[in-house]
Homo-oligomer: A and B are copies of this chain.
Amino acid sequence: MMSKWQYSTPGIPDQLFIRGQVPMTKEEVRCVTISKLRLDENSTVYDIGAGTGSLSIEAALIAKQGQVWAIEREAEGVQLIEENRAQFALDNLEVVAGEAPAALSDLPPVDRVLIGGSGGQLAEILELVEQKLKAQGRIVINAITLETLTSAKEELLRLGYQIEVVTLNVARTREVGAYHMFKAENPIYIISGERSLEDDS
């Protein structure tokens, strides 16, 4: 018999996270988002606008020998990330309370940057990330608004990245009596950028 699941793959069930009132990226979207980061066990990662920290947790579970910095400006989020970090017993995840890009300035360079929330500062964040992201680095941006989608695409192209844009529409069934009713999650756009897509292999 298998022992308790070791979270070997991203897409950890939503109910395993402490959530509070902060909106959380759903498991299927987390799964694909983390996949697009192309993490390894030594990866170093910023998770900007970390919210509940669910993506930071997923990243830290893959980058076991690496390091994840979760940047979050809201006190409730910072508290939730700490609680989730304790629950998943991770010592390679550090919470940075503050607002990007300022909160990034003292952090060391990284291999990967994940942007789940940018507080209207996406262009400024990406400017600073230019100095922090290593040569073979990747950026993944999750957008739930038309403005972030547009801005993510335009800024990444302007900075010379090759981009991929993927939309996910996820629905799941919910039991209502003897019925399984389809219930939609909101659409999400996942924009990935890297210097050269060929290096991906």
Contact = CB atoms under 8 A, between A and B. Distances in A.
Identical chains in the assembly: 4
Nearest to A172: B166
A106 interface: no
A196 interface: no
Given A8-B41, A38-B5, A146-B179, A168 B165 contact: no
A150 interface: yes
Cβ-closest 9 pairs across A and B: A11-B35, A184-B184, A169-B169, A145-B179, A165-B173, A146-B180, A31-B35, A150-B150, A167-B171
Interface in A1-45: 1-3, 5-6, 8-11, 13, 15-16, 27-28, 31-32, 34-43
Interface in A129-175: 134-136, 144-150, 153, 164-173
Interface of A is mostly: mixed
A28 B31 CA distance: 9
B171 A169 contact: yes
11 contacts: A2-B111, A8-B39, A28-B166, A145-B173, A146-B153, A146-B180, A164-B172, A167-B169, A167-B170, A167-B171, A168-B168
Given A145-B179, A164-B172, A182-B188, 15 more contacts: A2-B43, A9-B38, A9-B62, A11-B35, A13-B201, A144-B181, A145-B173, A145-B180, A146-B173, A146-B180, A147-B180, A168-B169, A168-B170, A169-B184, A184-B184
A185 interface: yes
Contacts of A150: 146, 149-150, 153
